[in-house]
């Protein structure tokens, strides 16, 4: 993970649909954040946040499935497999729980499918999410493109929030562990101090100012224990303050520069892409026409 004190101060992330960011003085660290953003841990936690879209509150994962299902793209089976697979287990599947430990094979299959839809598949297929950083400004960005603007915004914000939380937790992990150890020790010393103070007070109440030599020795030992524990507690409080400062000093400052705002601008189809697709379609229609024309001529020549 990236350590703020080792790589410099935290900067920012920017995005087309939402600009979010950290900051780093090395491209290597930015590459790590980009790859971290695509990890299953970040994406899976992001898609199992519940949001309200189209008056329906559900997991983002289910909103993604519903969106694709409305377009006829969810659990789409290639035509050449349809004769061999009559049942598609994912066709009517929806997640009912976000507890991964309870997932069965079908749930895991659906999870992998939704993950691939977001980040892209192993064959190089493009996902809804794109992220990277600008080499000139060093600003990192993350964006999502779906057919539903509300879904694009919710997914982008959820990914950023999970990435931010995970990044902060891992950055201060060692300092936080040290703080918890010191705090536990401080609490233990305080409990012992209170116990000894109660013992001393109870002893003095019983003695009523009349002390034998043996009683004075007991009182001396109790007072010495209280004094020693008081000094230890004072030092432990100082160490706790130092540990707390280390945690706060190490905690990175993460700022969302531009969160996505509705309405989003629709993507315009590429002119070159449209021209190529039109050319392919036109060529196909010409070939079909020539094929049937040849059949017609052959039939007429008989």
Instruction: Please say if the pLDDT value at position 103 is more than 90.
Output: yes
Residue 158 shares a structural domain with residue 16? yes
- Token pair of 20, please? 């979010």
- Mean pLDDT over the full length of the chain: 80
189 vs 86, higher pLDDT? 189
Instruction: Please say if the pLDDT value at position 108 is more than 60.
Output: yes
Residue 26 shares a structural domain with residue 78? yes
Residue 233 shares a structural domain with residue 262? no
pLDDT for the residue numbered 185 = 96
Give the domain range for residue 165. 4-172+252-267
Residue 141 shares a structural domain with residue 9? yes
- pLDDT, tens digit, 9 for 90 and up, residues 210-265: 666 677 788 889 999 999 999 999 999 999 999 999 999 998 877 777 777 776 66
Asked if residue 126 lies in contact with residue 120, where contact means CB atoms within 8 angstroms, the answer is: yes
> pLDDT band for position 3 (50/70/90)?
very low
pTM of the model: 0.68
Residue 213 shares a structural domain with residue 291? no
Residue 122 shares a structural domain with residue 239? no
Residue 31 shares a structural domain with residue 97? yes
Grouping H, G, I as helix, E, B as strand and the rest as coil, residue 38 is coil
Residue 261 shares a structural domain with residue 284? no
Peptide bond into 205 cis (omega under 30): no
Residue 8 shares a structural domain with residue 104? yes
- Letter string b/e over residues 261-292, b meaning 16 or more CB atoms within 10 A of that residue's CB: eeebeeeeeeeeeeeeeeeeeeeeeeeeeeee
Residue 101 shares a structural domain with residue 240? no
Residue 246 shares a structural domain with residue 298? no
Structural domains of the chain, count: 3
Instruction: Please say if the pLDDT value at position 126 is more than 80.
Output: yes
Residue 9 shares a structural domain with residue 157? yes
What is the percent of the chain where pLDDT is above 90?
42
């Amino acid at each position: 993970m990236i350590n703020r004190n080792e790589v410099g101060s935290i900067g920012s992330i920017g995005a087309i649909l939402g600009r979010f960011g950290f900051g780093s003085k090395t491209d290597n660290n930015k590459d790590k954040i980009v790859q971290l953003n695509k990890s299953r841990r970040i994406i899976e936690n992001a898609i199992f946040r519940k949001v309200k879209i189209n008056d329906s509150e559900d997991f983002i994962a289910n909103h993604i499935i519903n969106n694709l299902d409305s377009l006829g793209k969810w659990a789409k089976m290639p035509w050449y497999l349809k004769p061999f697979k009559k049942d598609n287990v994912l066709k009517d599947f929806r997640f009912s729980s976000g507890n991964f430990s309870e997932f069965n094979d079908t749930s895991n299959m659906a999870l992998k499918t939704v993950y691939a839809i977001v980040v892209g598949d192993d064959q190089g297929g493009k996902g809804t999410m794109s992220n990277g950083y600008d080499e000139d400004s060093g600003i990192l960005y993350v964006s999502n493109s779906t057919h539903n603007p509300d879904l694009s915004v919710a997914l982008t914000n959820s990914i950023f929030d999970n990435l931010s939380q995970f990044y902060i937790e891992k950055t201060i992990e060692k300092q936080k562990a040290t703080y918890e150890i010191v705090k536990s020790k401080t609490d233990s010393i305080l409990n012992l101090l209170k116990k000894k103070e109660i013992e001393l007070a109870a002893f003095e109440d019983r003695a009523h100012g009349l002390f034998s030599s043996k009683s004075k020795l007991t009182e001396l030992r109790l007072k010495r224990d209280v004094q020693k524990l008081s000094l230890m507690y004072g030092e432990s409080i100082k160490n706790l303050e130092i540990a707390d400062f280390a945690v706060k000093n190490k905690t990175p400052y993460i700022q969302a520069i531009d969160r996505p705002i509705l309405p989003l601008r629709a993507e315009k189809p590429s002119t070159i892409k449209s021209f190529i697709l039109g050319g392919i379609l036109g060529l196909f229609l010409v070939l079909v026409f020539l094929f049937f024309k040849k059949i017609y001529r052959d039939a007429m020549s008989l």
